[in-house]
Amino acid sequence: MEYLIQYGMFFAKVATIVVAIIIVLGAIVASGSRQKKIGRKGTIRVTPLNDHFDDMREILRHSVLDKDQLKKIHKQEKKAAKAELKQAREEEKQRQRAEKSSESDSGAVGDRKKRSYVLNFKGDMAAEAVTTLREEITAILTLAETDDEVILRLESPGGMVHAYGLASSQLLRIKNAGIPLTICVDKVAASGGYMMACLADKLVSAPFAIIGSIGVLVQLPNFHRVLKKNDVDYEIISAGEFKRTLTTFGEITEKGKAKVQEDVETIHGIFKQWVKDHRPSVDIDKISTGETWVGMQAKERYMVDEIKTSDECILAACETSDVFEVEFDLKKSIQDKLSSAIPGVVEKILMNWTNKSRINDYQ
């Protein structure tokens, strides 16, 4: 019996190793096959959302409705589609009669249905999502026209000034091209996130999304007294009076603190002016205190234009437009994939542990 147990344990170990090898080899093969399809930097993935929602509706219908109800609905839809097609043809004929030259409007949106392009931006401290955002915007600008629309689903608590400055500049490219920009905030657009959000022609917020934090923050630990207590010297050799002001190991001086405070105030002033330029209806002095508000409060302060979710905006766009979700997939090595997967696994473990702890607290 003991022999069988030992054999079973040995077999389990061997099986585990074999499975691990197969997974690794599969990842290598999959990566190699994908690299053939991916360009130098990555590839654009486009999802027609009209078809996606139509498929969902049809699946639900077949699960809920009986055959007679389905037949009746399909008949009504065919009749409506036929009427719409007839009206579109009549409008096209009238347009052609009104045109003096068929070549003058050969690229006009009047020849086709309006298009809405959906983008997603999930920001972190360094706004790393700007790497894909810039590619997505570049792709859209090669095709979009002024009667089309870009809808951005934005989620960001803010981060480094220069990183979010670049992300905001990418959105300016859309506005400079004359293409309407709608930004939807479902969870949070604070600090640098709001710097981006205020560029919208129409800014939409969920009722309890966190909006605002128009302020600037600099913080760092200082170990100078610890080093001094242990007789450790720390020297900085620099040229330029303010090349270094406050550092982690150097002595904090009043002159250095004053210079950092001056720089923070300057950046805050630029941030305030940016918001005021793009949302002139706000009382900038009242909203630039670093506070945050939920969406409903933000609307009262003219920081957002409308209270609804991104889902409502996209579904409404599907009624009048051909809607496409545009995503850029970066080309990644196996090492990159593994390194990015590990933090996600750790985060899930911590989240599961936290959630279980919370549940136990209420039992």
Tens of pLDDT, residues 240-255:
888 888 888 888 889 8
DSSP secondary structure, 282-328, as one string:
S-HHHH-SS-EEEHHHHHHTTS-SEE--HHHHHHHHHHHSEEEEEEE
Q: How far is CA 261 from the centre of its chain?
A: 32
Name the fold adopted by 44-81+112-213+291-344.
2-enoyl-CoA Hydratase; Chain A, domain 1 (3.90.226)
Q: So what's the pLDDT on residue 67?
A: 76
Name the amino acid, one letter, at 260: V
When mean pLDDT is compared over 5-19, 205-219, 322-336, the highest value belongs to 205-219
Confidence category of residue 277, pLDDT binned at 50, 70, 90: very high
pLDDT of 2 above 60: no
Q: How far is CA 246 from the centre of its chain?
A: 33
Give the rounded percent of residues in the chain with a pLDDT score beyond 70: 73
Q: So what's the pLDDT on residue 278?
A: 96
Lowest-confidence range among 75-89, 129-143, 169-183? 75-89
**For residues 32 and 77, which has the higher predicted lDDT (pLDDT)?**
77
Q: So what's the pLDDT on residue 236?
A: 83
Which residue out of 243, 281, 286, 357 is catalytically annotated? 243
Active-site residue 156, yes or no? no
Pick the closest to residue 301 from 284, 321, 326 (CA basis).
284
Q: So what's the pLDDT on residue 333?
A: 63
pLDDT of 14 above 60: no
DSSP secondary structure, 14-42, as one string:
HHHHHHHHHHHHHHHHHHHHHHHHS-SSE
Which residue out of 116, 156, 168, 191 is catalytically annotated? 191
Average confidence (pLDDT) over 106-135 = 86
Q: How many helices, marked H, and strands, marked E, lie in the chain? A: 12, 9
Q: So what's the pLDDT on residue 36?
A: 41
Name the residue ranges covered by the structural domains of the chain: 1-32, 44-81+112-213+291-344, 218-282
Place of tokens 């579904």: 315
Cα-based distances in Å from 160 to 127, 182, 264: 8, 24, 13
Give the global pTM: 0.73
CB atoms within 10 A of CB 348: 10
Q: So what's the pLDDT on residue 66?
A: 77
End-to-end CA distance of the chain: 43
pLDDT of 155 above 60: yes
Cα-based distances in Å from 126 to 66, 193, 203, 219, 269: 53, 11, 23, 16, 21
Q: So what's the pLDDT on residue 65?
A: 80
Average confidence (pLDDT) over 336-343 = 57
Active-site residue 238, yes or no? no
Helix (H) or strand (E) holding 149: strand 149-156
